[in-house]
Structure 1
Amino acid sequence: MGGATLPLVLTTLGVLLLYRILTRLRSNGSVQGLVVVITGASSGLGKECARVFHAAGARLVVCGRDAGRLQQVVQELTASTTATQKQTFSPSTVIFDLAKADTIGKAAEEILKCYGHVDVLINNAGISYRGNILDTHISVQREVMETNYFGPISLTQALLPSMVHRRSGHIVVISSVQGKIAIPSRSAYAASKHATQAFFDCLRAEIEQNGISVTVISPGYIQTDLSINAVTGDGSKYGIMDKATAAGQNPRDVAHAVLKAVCQRSSDVLLAGTLPSVAVYLRTLWPALFFKLMSSRARKEQKLKENLLTFGSRTLRRPPGQDQT
């Protein structure tokens, strides 16, 4: 048994090395001239992806809810074009709300009218959530799921037949580390990302025979306004920049990683630091320990919340004019 272990390990390492070599050989792919659709392109990671893919020569179709902000993105991209760059193209815009299912069919038609087909669909638009399950209305859970799950899969299914017909295409979804592990105070968000991971894993297996690639990208925290715009248990805005978000990855770096994943036609990409990456494997290899760590985190968060509420109530009860420094 011991004698058979070493050859098995060496064979496994050899296969992994060969896979890495083949992956690197595929990294020479280009998006020059390809039709790339990006949702949520008016801000955050979507806007950075628009900049990176535009500079790489893609024919962009940028999508979002706000026509004014999208037009501003187009103006910025057009102004950034220089003679030293690759040939670039003026982006097209399609306005629609991903959370409204009845608008997605028409939006897909408008997207296809721009260039007649789609080479790459980047499902980026999404909404975050902060809250305790006990204090969260079911309507908030549905709202997050509509935007983060049903929206992307509806748009994907609307554009998929044209890709199958051409036997060519690439579908990308920006998920999250929380699509692989769940942490306290993120139930709606983590649930929507878990569902997203499962759907696109199934899709990858089903349409590979049609020459279509599927990439799921799972970043950790990114320096965007995602936490500020997150919804809380009662549906109101969270309105706070989390420390973890503020210290997160630069969205430009993540956008370049998305471009690389598209060029390599990667299947599953984890873009996170050491601790979140370890947590992903710990959830699989030692779930009991992972659950204990998450329970400890939940208790600490609850205690911190209670302390803040206590401090706030004491401050409000102080007599007028009393020193509050």
Structure 2
Amino acid sequence: MERVTAGGVLQLALAGAGVLLLFRILTRLRPGASLQDAVVVITGASSGLGKECARVFHAAGARLVLCGRDAARLQQVVQELTASSTGSQQQTHIPSTVVFDLADRDTVDGAAQEILRCHGHVDVLISNAGISYRGNILDTHISVQRDVMETNYFGPIALTQALLPSMVRRRSGHVVVISSVQGKIAIPFRSAYAASKHATQAYFDCLRAEVERYGIHVSVISPGYIRTNLSVNAVTGDGSKYGVLDRNTAQGRDPAHVAQAVLKAVRQRSKDVVLAGPLPSLAIYLRTLWPALFFKLMSSRACKEQKPKDE
């Protein structure tokens, strides 16, 4: 059997990156579906990326159902969106709101019914709500691992499964989940977060295959760092708040640009979208094509960091 050299692996990685670039260019040329009057549900809509998604989908004429835990903050978003549409030539709609905690599975079924009562159906579900984590596995209580999984994985799939039967009956719908590059590669001191995002990727990949026959589309969006308060609100090994804006997070992508990418993915019915720079994209290929080197690099990174801190 021919031995694969480091140069050969690099050539394969570059060839794969070239194919991905060509695909993205061709995708840009494909016309997108209209979202005028489409019913779009967004979780985690009161801040960060969820709020920016609300802005772009509202501007596109969608009938929004904004979900979150804080009723006052959701109403503030509604007021801002309503004010922003004054004088717009695009027909817009006043958003509805549904208040519930995605991590509380006992409330999800009731929330799903309330969502359906808003407009009778759902065209697009965008599962955006989530929590991050910073911690050393040795110092992290198992309850923290469970809590992160509850919010990032079980919450989104519970809401998806509660709304899915209505989509199947209509033989129409689009499920979008905001995952992460860390759903494709795992880095030190992010165990709970990376595990929840890996599980998310796997579940929605399975869902895509199972519901395609019903005319339902599934998109997994995997951004790198986004300039939000995700790291500030992250939990640590003992469950306390991390409270630090990481340097990489502060230098991350503008959430407004990521929201535009989500809008584009919905319009073009993209299946899997990675929003990352050259190094994270190369790392994804490296994890698949040369895992031994990837593991060595991650081990070296863990030794340098010693503990979770500003990266």
Is the pair's TM-score, using the shorter chain for normalization, greater than 0.5?
yes
1:95 aligns with 2:110: no
Q: CA RMSD in A?
A: 1.9
Alignment map for 1:56-205 (pairs within 5 Å): 56-205=60-209
1:266 aligns with 2:251: no
1:36 aligns with 2:40: yes
Q: Which amino acid aligns with 2:300?
A: S
Q: Which amino acid aligns with 1:163?
A: M
Over 3 Å counting, the alpha-carbon distance change for 1:261 and 1:196 in structure 2 is same
Task: Tell me the equivalent position of 1:285.
Answer: 289
1:233 aligns with 2:237: yes
* Residue from 225, 236, 250 that aligns with 2:254: 250
Check conservation: 1:229, 1:239, Cα contact below 8 A: yes
Check conservation: 1:172, 1:215, Cα contact below 8 A: yes
Check conservation: 1:55, 1:85, Cα contact below 8 A: no
CA distance in 1, matches of 2:203, 2:158: 11
CA distance in 1, matches of 2:187, 2:21: 34
CA distance in 2, matches of 1:238, 1:154: 27
**What's the secondary structure of 1:196's corresponding residue?**
helix
Deviations 1:148-206 (A, max 9, x none): 00000000000000000000000000000000000000000000000000000000000
Check conservation: 1:27, 1:260, Cα contact below 8 A: no
Over 3 Å counting, the alpha-carbon distance change for 1:79 and 1:201 in structure 2 is same
Over 3 Å counting, the alpha-carbon distance change for 1:303 and 1:65 in structure 2 is closer
**What's the secondary structure of 1:128's corresponding residue?**
coil
Check conservation: 2:43, 2:126, Cα contact below 8 A: yes
CA distance in 1, matches of 2:24, 2:308: 45
Over 3 Å counting, the alpha-carbon distance change for 1:218 and 1:303 in structure 2 is closer
CA distance in 2, matches of 1:24, 1:176: 22
**What's the secondary structure of 2:306's corresponding residue?**
helix
- Structure 1 residues without counterparts, runs of 5 or longer: 1-11, 309-325
What TM-score do the two structures reach when normalised by structure 1? 0.87
Deviations 1:33-67 (A, max 9, x none): 10000000000000000001001100000000000
Over 3 Å counting, the alpha-carbon distance change for 1:65 and 1:209 in structure 2 is same
Identity of aligned residues (%): 80
Check conservation: 2:50, 2:129, Cα contact below 8 A: yes
- Structure 2 residues without counterparts, runs of 5 or longer: 1-15
- C-alpha displacement at 1:293, in angstroms? 0.4
